[in-house]
Amino acid sequence: MTGLEGSIWRVGHGREIELGRRSVIMAIINVTPDSFSDGGRFETVDAAVEQALRAVSEGAGIIDIGGESTRPNAATVSPSEEQARVLPVIEALRGRTQALISIDTYRAETARLAISAGAHIVNDVFGLQKEPDIADISAVTGAGLCIMHTGRDRVKLVDVIADQVHFLERSLDIAAASGVNRDRIVLDPGFGFAKETAEENLELMARFSELSRFGLPLLAGTSRKRFLGTVTGREVQGRDAATAATSALLRLQGAAVFRVHNVAINRDALDIADAMLNARQEFERKRPT
């Protein structure tokens, strides 16, 4: 998917969202004490819901709720603890916003319960390869899937795009075997997830358009990642401008969905990128052949 090509992402509970013609923001809501950027800020249901509604008012179309930190070396929580954190937030949001709700989990049971509570999308940071039953749950419920590439717990191929293809093709095979329709799937190359150096992440950015080979919408999740700090010298909380810059650049390379902490600054950057793409499309339409 590149430029302004439109596609419909079909998700749970009979909902859908258009991708491609205007960039879509997925707001990060971490209901955790230890996430790398905002751990502890939104631990309570009320705080998480307030932040989610603020994100929607600033331009988010999707709210991504997570109950376990996925930063390197983060402590693992039990499934019951994860569910106790996220399910009340999803239930509270369901009746208060028309934004789509995503559950950030690699656990099939958490995904199932979250969808029952009102979630429309499962965002799996292990790309269906830790608990493949998530694919079965999507097939049965119609939930959308964010399938993310990761290099964790395995040996990667040297070439960054070859490794993306190697991993994501296996994930797509798992989805297909479970009967998940391709119009339920978005792919995420997983910036920062066992991408060991800033150079590796920057090469992935530079070659992002090569992922269009899958013919599926692409999600970019660079928000406040360490490689942005390496480039800019800024600590975590000072990386929102750099995040917005990467969002705009990746939009020009075909990304459709952007998972971010600071919605407002990314919405502005993406509105400019969208306007430029529209202008280019209009120019191409009018140009004499």
Q: For the segment 11-30, what is each residue's pLDDT rounded down to a tens digit?
A: 999 999 999 889 999 999 99
Q: Exactly one of 10, 226, 259, 267 is catalytic; which is it?
A: 259
Q: Using pLDDT thresholds of 50, 70 and 90, give the confidence band for residue 39.
A: low
**What is the predicted pLDDT for the residue at 2?**
43
pLDDT tens-place string over residues 272-286: 999 999 999 999 889
CA dist 102 and 12 (Å) reads 10
Q: Alpha helices, DSSP H only, in 142-192?
A: 160-178
In order of 37, 81, 160, the CA distances from 187 in angstroms are 23, 28, 15
pTM of the model: 0.94
Place of tokens 């009746």: 95
285 is catalytic: no
User: Does domain 7-286 bear CATH number 3.30.365.10?
Assistant: no
Residue 112 falls in the annotated catalytic set = no
pLDDT of 34 reads: 57
pLDDT score at 1: 40
d(CA 111, CA 45): 19
Q: What is the pLDDT of residues 232-247, one digit of tens each?
A: 999 999 999 999 999 9
Average pLDDT along the chain: 94
Structure-token match 């106790």, residue found: 84
Q: Of 85, 225, 251, 267, which is the active-site residue? A: 225
Is the model's pLDDT at 37 over the cut of 80? no
Sort strands 62-66 and 100-104 into parallel, antiparallel or unpaired. parallel
Residue 196: predicted pLDDT:
87
Structural domain spans, the chain: 7-286
Q: Give the mean model confidence (pLDDT) for residues 129-136.
A: 98
> Average pLDDT in the 44-56 region?
95
At 245-263, the pLDDT tens digits run: 999 999 999 999 999 999 9
